[in-house]
Amino acid sequence: MPHIEIEGLRIEVNEEGFLSHPEEWNEETARLLAKAEENLDELTAEHWAVVKFIREYYLEKNLAPMVRKMCQATGFPLMKIYELFPSGPAKGACKVAGLPKPDGCV
């Protein structure tokens, strides 16, 4: 199984960089995923607002939220989500929030 090694810690991810075991996610994992996959050295309060919303939505509904919901919940316009997570809401924000890879040609 592929993995990323960062700051001495080893996280198991699938080939696309998404967490292999979503249930193992915690804030430290999020920080490390953001660094390794999105080149984000630190996560600001704005990043966390998005990540926390996604995480809670996923735990409740077992689905990735639509980007519209992310924008509504956080109050950020779509442009802002892309500024915070360069890979976008699916490949960037959802990945950092520890979700499994969404289906589809994405």
Instruction: Check binding of 73 to another protein (CB under 8 A).
Output: no
Instruction: Check binding of 60 to another protein (CB under 8 A).
Output: no
Q: Which long-range contacts (CB under 8 A, 24 or more apart) does 15-19 make?
A: 16/91, 16/101, 17/95, 18/95, 18/99, 18/100, 18/101, 19/95, 19/98, 19/99, 19/100
> Which residues, numbered 8-47, are part of the site for another protein (CB under 8 A)?
14-16
For this structure, is 105 an active site residue?
yes
Catalytic option among 45, 79, 105, 106: 105
Residues found near another protein in the complex (CB under 8 A): 14-16, 66-68, 71-72, 77-79, 87-91, 101-106
